[in-house]
């Protein structure tokens, strides 16, 4: 980003100086010491600010709390073996964030403001972007309606924030997924194609039950016929069938993942046939039983590519892919090498973040 149009609160410098990365990071458990906040009020965006991470105040009547008027993004900044951090496909996250806001009738955050918030937090936290391969600074931009009231209409005021978490590679290890036959994650034409917190709320009961039955996550079917595979609650799904890579074609209830799209590009460029189609769950289970489907995996920003060792059905039957983490691993390693800028990036997917430097007494930065 060019010059900072946002305000840096004075306490930010002390809290950056005092912050130490703990030895154990986990995923999303350690809060970065600063956050970005900008408010939309009276028909315009106010100047954004960088401030210490901490509790915020909103009115109890805020529509975010009553009507789930909230959308978000998840992205990562990497800094493996380099002084500055870099983002991955930030513009694609922006475009999706904009679509998400529009779907909820919220005023989208302008692209400059979105990037300003992300660059402010990542730039300030450059030293806290853990730098071992697989580690990253997980970045969470979000937008929520702050106007109080029960009239069912969009808020006229909103707040855009960016928080971040120095994180280990998110590892669900090898996942066991349970086909959810009754509930649906998103209605056809509902919020499924956008990143709204409400989708996660809708998924929690099935997720809880899946975990109670010894699985990692629920596998969602399409809301209309419940015959076709859609995705997991926060990850898209791929299957290796014969020599081809198959994934559910995007529809009006699947979330178009940036990782999904990146894997399709990488796989095609390395000569694999990738087929996006409607995937009947009955057919996939047959192909798993016959061995025709050899491998299944899921993908998303947090876990990147995560192998699946078991697919369970509600009738108690279980299906095991013959291969675990072969193609998945190959794709994960290729993608991560680009994300971490260890490999050339012919797609222009990565972009650097200029570290935030404290101005001197004269307000000057640098030499
Ligand atoms: C975020 C998300 C994904 C993964 O998207 P990425 O852009 O790859 O992180 C997949 N499915 C759902 C439901 C999601 O919310």
Q: How many angstroms is it from 263 CA to the middle of ligand 1?
A: 13
Rounded to the nearest integer, the mean pLDDT of the chain is 96
pLDDT for 366 equals 55
Tell me how far the alpha carbon of residue 97 lies from the centroid of ligand 1, in angstroms: 12
pLDDT at 26 over 90: yes
Residues whose beta carbon lies within 6 Å of some atom of ligand 1:
74, 195, 199, 231, 233-236, 255, 257-260, 300-301
Lowest mean pLDDT among 49-58, 61-70, 170-179, 225-234: 170-179
Taking residue 110's Cβ as centre, other Cβ atoms within 10 Å add up to 14
What pLDDT is stored for residue 2 in this prediction? 45
CB-based burial, 270-286: b 16+ in 10 Å, e otherwise? eebeeeeeebebebbbe
pLDDT at 1: 45
Domain(s) labelled CATH 3.20.10.10 in the chain stretch across 175-324
Summarize pLDDT for 274-327 with one digit per residue, the tens.
999 999 999 999 999 999 999 999 999 999 999 999 999 999 999 999 999 999
* The pairing of beta strand 70-72 with beta strand 136-145: antiparallel
**From ligand 1's centre to the CA of 359, what distance in Å?**
38
175-324 CATH fold: D-amino Acid Aminotransferase; Chain A, domain 2 (3.20.10)
Work out which ligand 1 atom sits closest to the CA atom of 195.
Answer: 15
Phi and psi at residue 155, to the nearest 5° = -60, 145
pLDDT at 23 over 60: yes
Residue span(s) of the chain under CATH 3.30.470.10 come to: 7-169+347-352
**pLDDT, tens only, 140-173:** 999 999 999 999 999 999 999 999 999 998 776 8
Q: Which of 28, 70, 72, 74 to mutate to test the pocket of ligand 1 (most atoms within 8 A of CB)?
A: 74
Residue range 7-169+347-352, CATH number: 3.30.470.10
d(CA 82, CA 10): 28
């Amino acid at each position: 980003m060019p010059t900072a149009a946002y305000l840096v609160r004075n306490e930010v410098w002390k809290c950056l100086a005092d912050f130490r990365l703990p030895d154990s990071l986990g995923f999303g458990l350690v809060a970065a010491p600063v956050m970005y906040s900008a408010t939309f009020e009276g028909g315009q965006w106010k100047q954004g600010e960088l401030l210490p991470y901490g509790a915020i105040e909103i009115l109890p009547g805020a529509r975010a709390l009553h009507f789930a008027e909230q959308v978000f993004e998840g992205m990562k900044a990497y800094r493996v073996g380099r002084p500055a951090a870099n983002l991955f496909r930030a513009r694609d996250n922006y475009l999706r964030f904009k679509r998400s806001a529009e779907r909820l009738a919220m005023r989208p955050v302008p692209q400059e403001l979105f990037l300003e918030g992300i660059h402010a937090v990542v730039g300030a936290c450059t030293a806290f972007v853990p730098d071992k391969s697989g580690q990253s600074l997980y970045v969470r931009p979000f937008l929520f309606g702050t106007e109080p009231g029960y009239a069912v209409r969009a808020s006229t005021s909103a707040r855009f924030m960016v928080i971040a978490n120095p994180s280990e590679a998110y590892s669900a290890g090898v996942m066991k997924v349970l086909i959810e036959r009754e509930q649906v994650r998103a209605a056809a034409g509902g919020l499924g194609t956008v990143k709204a917190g409400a989708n996660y709320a809708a998924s929690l009961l099935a997720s809880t039950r899946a975990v109670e039955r010894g699985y990692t996550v629920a596998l969602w079917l399409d809301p209309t016929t419940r015959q076709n595979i859609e995705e997991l609650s926060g990850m898209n799904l791929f299957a290796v069938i014969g020599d081809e890579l198959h994934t559910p074609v995007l529809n009006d209830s699947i979330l178009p993942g940036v990782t999904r799209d990146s894997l399709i590009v990488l796989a095609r460029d390395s000569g694999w046939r990738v087929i996006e189609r409607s995937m009947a769950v009955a057919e996939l289970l047959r192909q798993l039983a016959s061995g025709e489907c050899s491998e299944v995996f899921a993908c998303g920003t947090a876990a990147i590519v995560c192998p699946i060792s078991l697919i369970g059905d509600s009738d108690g039957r279980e299906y095991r892919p013959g291969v675990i983490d072969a193609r998945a691993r190959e794709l994960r390693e290729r993608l991560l090498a680009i994300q971490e800028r260890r490999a050339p990036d012919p797609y222009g997917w990565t972009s650097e973040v200029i570290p935030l430097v404290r101005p001197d007494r004269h307000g000057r930065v640098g030499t």
